[in-house]
Chains A and B, each alone.
Chain A
Amino acid sequence: MNARTLQLPPLATLGPFIALLLACTFFATQSDRFLTGQNLSLILQQVMVVGVIAIGQTLIILTAGIDLSCGMVMALGGIVMTKFATELGLPPALAIACGIGVTTLFGLINGLLVTRIKLPPFIVTLGTLNIAFAITQLYSNSQTITDLPESMNVLGNTFQVGGASVAYGVVLMLALYFVTWFGLRETAPGRHVYAVGNNPEATRLTGIPTQRVLLGVYVLAGLFYGIASLLSVARTGVGDPNAGQTENLDAITAVVLGGTSLFGGRGVILGTLVGALIVGVFRNGLTLMGVSSIYQVLVTGILVILAVATDQLSRKGGR
């Protein structure tokens, strides 16, 4: 029994990397353009929004929760910051702060409903998903917000590294992954996130304020969604009320593909980055192959089921 369970961690950590390599190899054989520096930097830019949302999603899933509202909350944040900057004429920095404030507030609401009223995260975030979507549509009149101040798009600009152009937003995403990796791995609050996902009752009995840990995780996730709003606005150059619809499930897919268990307490944040890259590579590769977008949705659906099945089966095998 020992030998078998001891093999699990490396497999769970290496699995996503292997899947990413296989996917890249496959698409490289299908399209000459896939492995060009230009295309790879495009993939990174396409991944940065979902990548940052997936950080927040990972934190929540590590506590054995789930957030179905992530993409819609992100869209609302984007509308708030673009509308505040254009119609209200706020300075861009203040408008951005308001947008991030709104997404963080949604995180706080999700967290309070989960910790204080003890509602299941699935139901809470299903509710806030619809609320955020409705507010986004009402507030924007379902209109795209254009004519943004130039400074809101800075993170979408690129710089040259050895022939490939890299967006500043991608650098920000990588920095956020590094900070989260450090926090989860090297600090006590990070370890408490894992402990809460592992065994909430045992964690509470050791004196850790588990409700505060949970609430903190939901608020932090909201903050990450806000940063993702900014990245989304910077990438597209507009405030889009229909943003976040693919990102919503893609973020969960990225987390699960990255090897984080939906049962909580297991997973590594860098796996999520790889998971987001897998999703990005599939979407990009299928597009290059000329596969219509509805098939990409189909493939994403199959991918997420495969990932959850692998998680479930490997845990059964370990017992």
Chain B
Amino acid sequence: MNAVLKPIHLNTPETAQQIVMQARGLVKRYGQVTALDGADFELRAGEILAVIGDNGAGKSSLIKCLSGATIPDAGDILLDGKPIHFKSPIDARRAGIETVYQDLAVAPAMTIAENLFLGRELRRQGFLGNVLRMLDKKRMLEESIARMNDLKVGIRSMTQAVETLSGGQRQCVAVARAAAFAQHVVIMDEPTAALGVKEGNMVLELIRRVRDKGLPVVLISHNMPHVFEVADRIHVARLGKRAAVLNPKKISMSDTVAVMTGAMQPEDIAAECLAH
């Protein structure tokens, strides 16, 4: 149970194009409804990949398959080139994929340090830890401070209850927890949906820092300005498939929405607007 925090590896140019996670031909049916109809997915090292799509486009089914929340009926998922078969979110977590959920998944009455280490508590060395199972609160506190400083989250005390924080700060705690323990990938499901403008920007800034530390981020969002602010590439889900992967530096927001809704066909997109 003694979790070890991973060392931070900085993003280098060689790894920038390396594919971390990949899915090919994912199919998921719920009774008569086909949610995923041969969807592909590709996440590269050191990028923020936004996943957008209208309701029913297969966006959440795709994310659920990647985070282990559902099992696809067909298709392959590869992590670092190796096929994986998640049966639960716990499996995905063991494989180094952490997911942040939109509805502020924290325990409000517990401290920030406790929340960061929830389910991965550190135990003391020797008799106290092995026999009495005592927690190493001091080390968890120190690690928490180091992690939060590292991500430049400006919260004064790690021993205050999470309920004393604002919504944005709470979400920062959830993001920091994911970033601290993810070995490979951080998936964020609408992390800014419940937040105001200022708080949303705070979380976006944190997402960028997570990427800059070398962890690739999958960002699911309905908020186009947020997507355009942080994403390196945009995966557009439509009709259970991947309609296109767009380059937010070249394409306009309105064209992106047009691709998403089907008003613009993928073939009509200018080549420079597609991401490679």
Contacts and interface: CB of A to CB of B under 8 A. Distances in A.
A167 interface: no
A140 interface: no
Contacts of B132: 182, 186-187
A188 B135 contact: yes
Interface in B88-123: 89-90, 93, 99, 101, 105-110, 114, 118-121, 123
B164 interface: yes
A265 interface: yes
B134 A186 contact: yes
A207 interface: yes
A6 interface: yes
Given A191-B118, A191-B121, A198 B110 contact: yes
B85 interface: no
A198 B119 contact: no
A113 to B, nearest CB: 24
B110 A195 contact: yes
B24 interface: no
Consensus secondary structure, chain B interface: loop
B29 interface: no
Name, among A5, A188, A265, the residue most crowded by chain B CB atoms within 10 Å (CB to CB): A188
Contacts of B119: 192, 203, 206-208
Interface residues of B, number: 27
Contacts of A195: 107, 110, 114, 118
B107 A198 contact: yes
A9 B160 CA distance: 11
A266 B107 contact: no
A17 to B, nearest CB: 20
Interface residues of A, number: 26
B1 interface: yes
Given A2-B164, A6-B160, A195-B110, A201 B105 contact: yes
Contacts of A188: 1, 121, 123, 133, 135
A205 B121 contact: no
A216 B142 CA distance: 31
Contacts, number: 74
Contacts of A206: 105, 118-120
B163 interface: yes
Given A205-B105, A207-B119, A187 B134 contact: yes
A187 B135 contact: yes
Given A206-B118, A208-B118, A5 B105 contact: no
A5 B163 contact: yes
A38 interface: no
A199 B162 CA distance: 12
Interface string B1-12: 100000000000
B160 A198 contact: no
B134 A6 contact: no
A115 to B, nearest CB: 17
Interface centre among B90, B107, B134, B161 (most CB of A within 10 A): B107
B237 to A, nearest CB: 23
Given A2-B164, A206-B119, A207-B119, A187 B133 contact: yes
A318 B161 CA distance: 12
B135 A199 contact: no
Nearest to B157: A6
Interface string B158-185: 0011011000000000000000000000
A282 interface: no
A188 B3 CA distance: 13
B107 A199 contact: yes
A318 B105 CA distance: 20
Interface string A235-252: 000000000000000000
Given A1-B164, A198-B110, 15 more contacts: A5-B163, A5-B164, A182-B132, A188-B121, A191-B121, A192-B118, A194-B109, A195-B110, A198-B107, A198-B108, A199-B105, A205-B99, A207-B90, A207-B93, A266-B109
17 contacts: A5-B164, A6-B160, A9-B161, A188-B135, A191-B110, A195-B107, A198-B107, A199-B106, A199-B108, A202-B101, A205-B99, A205-B101, A206-B119, A207-B93, A207-B120, A265-B107, A266-B109
Interface of A: 1-2, 5-6, 9, 182, 186-189, 191-192, 194-195, 198-199, 201-203, 205-208, 265-266, 318
